[in-house]
């Protein structure tokens, strides 16, 4: 029987990874995911394999098999990410997302500014699947509106981030949502439905806090909202008919149609609506002077697979409607593949099992299992400084433990998102925390006390486990 590495030896690759990621993020900042983090993962993978082969005589074939199995396990997630890239582009250019933004902003009233900001960012983030895009676009506009109305920076940023990360957490278009479900072998929509048990109460409490805070503030400036709404109406053909696309998508989700099929059909329907309602925009994207089939076809294809940049008279709106298409997902896919290599190497060497054995000692009841997962996810967010890597490592570390204790995988996937996705933005040196602080021009520690949804979510996960409400167990 092969000797397993001790917990101290098993932590060596983790420590090396933390140091490499720290140097990478410090050097590249928000561009760390463009290659630096991936190289760090592959370098650490090599170190892990070297330790295993030299000191524990683990053959290369074991590593190769574990890495291959890990990558095969996320093949579906990679396909979904590519389709999502296409969907996010076509939903924007077809006018679906602009229509949702246009009608959503109509609900803003000064007394309800903070709650409305949270709701608007949540809706946009659900539709786009990206908290980063939401914060970098409409979030900036809302910062301007909030400042004009006299709100403190921390309160405004807290409302924006709370809403954006709610959407990022439950959207079927979100990379983190797909990653958490795939790494734990949980069907995507099953994962999302199960997350509602902890996510909805967290949002409700958050909205109550923002509503009370809003009523205690006197402000009445809605000029910025009117400017963005006017610019949207001038650039896109805004019509309620476009709401058919998200409604149809919601019906498919409710019918439990497989996620790949749902997303593909939604993309196809949005493409048809783009041809009907936004032909001028497709011609603008194509760059072909003459209108006709060629320009429409080229514009449609470019929207689906590549980047689009449409000019408007409003700088915030210009940034908001820019899309990345399928090609915009390649950095994430690259990161996932490299992380799978690292996870496979850690598993084959026995290092994952050695580290998790420490947690097992404290995991007796459901609440201690969930609490250990939350603490581990938060610890990895603090140390690896990247939410994607933290999700992957948390899923890999606890997957077998949850299975042995008789829990369904959806409990692990939900707890992982409750612990990792929403807390990444609260850490100043995490890629999410650095990015959002830079975008909003508000230091992480200034907005942290007001990100109520992000703070409540992991606590809600532990609370629900403590009362034993709808804990999913294997039959």
Question: Which tens digit of pLDDT belongs to each residue from 170-192?
Answer: 888 788 888 888 888 888 888 99
Q: Where are the domains of the chain?
A: 73-326
Residue-level pLDDT at 347: 80
Q: Closest Cα partner for 14 from 357, 394, 321?
A: 394
3-state DSSP assignment of residue 308: strand
H helical segments located in 216-350 = 223-235, 244-254, 259-277, 279-286, 293-305, 315-320, 330-348
Mean pLDDT for all residues in the chain: 83
Q: How many CB atoms lie within 10 A of CB 75?
A: 10
Percent of the chain past pLDDT 70, that is, above it, reads: 89
120 contacts 108 by C-beta, under 8 angstroms:
yes
Instruction: Give 71's contacts (C-beta < 8 A, 6+ positions apart).
Output: 337, 340, 341, 344
420 contacts 168 by C-beta, under 8 angstroms:
no
459 contacts 361 by C-beta, under 8 angstroms:
no
pLDDT surpasses 60 at 1: no
Grade residue 120 by pLDDT with cuts at 50, 70 and 90.
Answer: confident
Which residue has better confidence, 230 or 297? 297
145 contacts 398 by C-beta, under 8 angstroms:
no
Residue-level pLDDT at 440: 79
Which residue has better confidence, 424 or 339? 424
Question: Which tens digit of pLDDT belongs to each residue from 292-342?
Answer: 888 899 999 999 999 888 888 777 677 777 888 888 878 778 877 887 788
Structure pTM? 0.70
């Amino acid at each position: 029987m092969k000797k397993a590495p001790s917990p101290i030896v098993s932590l060596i690759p983790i420590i090396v990874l933390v140091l490499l990621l720290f140097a990478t993020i410090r050097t590249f900042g928000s561009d760390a995911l463009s290659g630096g983090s991936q190289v760090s993962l592959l370098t650490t993978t090599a170190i892990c394999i070297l330790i295993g082969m030299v000191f524990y005589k683990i053959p290369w074939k074991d590593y190769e098999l574990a890495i291959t199995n890990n990558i095969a396990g996320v093949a579906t997630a990679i396909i979904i990410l590519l389709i999502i890239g296409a969907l996010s582009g076509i939903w924007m250019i077809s006018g679906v997302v602009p229509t949702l933004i246009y009608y959503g902003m109509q609900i803003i009233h000064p007394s309800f500014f903070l709650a409305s900001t949270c709701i608007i960012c949540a809706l946009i983030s659900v539709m786009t699947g990206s908290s980063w895009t939401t914060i970098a676009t409409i979030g900036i506009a809302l910062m301007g509106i909030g400042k004009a109305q006299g709100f403190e920076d921390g309160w405004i940023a807290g409302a924006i981030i709370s809403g954006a990360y709610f959407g990022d957490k439950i959207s079927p278009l979100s990379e983190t949502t797909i990653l958490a479900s795939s790494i734990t072998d949980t069907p995507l929509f099953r994962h999302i439905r199960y997350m509602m048990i902890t996510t909805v109460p967290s949002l409700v409490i958050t909205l109550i806090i923002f509503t009370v805070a809003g009523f205690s503030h006197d402000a009445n400036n809605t000029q910025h909202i009117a400017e963005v709404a006017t610019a949207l109406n001038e650039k896109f053909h805004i019509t309620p008919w476009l709401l058919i696309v998200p409604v149809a998508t919601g019906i498919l989700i409710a019918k439990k149609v497989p996620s790949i099929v749902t997303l593909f059909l939604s993309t196809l329907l949005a493409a048809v609506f783009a041809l009907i309602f936004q032909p001028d925009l497709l011609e603008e994207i194509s760059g072909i002077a003459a209108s006709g089939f060629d320009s429409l076809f080229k514009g449609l294809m470019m929207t689906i697979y590549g980047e689009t940049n449409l000019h408007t008279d409003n700088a915030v709106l210009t940034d908001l409607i820019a899309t990345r298409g399928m090609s915009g997902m390649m950095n994430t896919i690259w990161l996932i593949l490299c992380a799978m290599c690292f996870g496979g190497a850690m598993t084959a060497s026995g290092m994952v099992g050695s580290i998790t054995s420490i947690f097992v000692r404290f995991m007796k009841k459901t609440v201690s299992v969930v609490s250990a997962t939350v603490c581990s996810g938060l610890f990895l967010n603090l140390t690896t400084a990247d939410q994607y890597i933290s999700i992957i490592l948390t899923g890999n570390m606890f997957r077998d433990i949850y299975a042995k204790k008789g829990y369904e995988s959806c409990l692990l996937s939900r707890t992982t998102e409750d612990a990792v996705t929403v807390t990444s933005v609260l850490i100043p040196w995490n890629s999410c925390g650095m990015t959002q602080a830079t975008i909003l021009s508000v230091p992480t520690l200034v907005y942290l006390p007001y990100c109520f949804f992000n703070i409540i979510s992991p606590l809600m996960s532990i609370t629900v486990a403590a009362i034993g409400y709808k804990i999913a167990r294997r039959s």
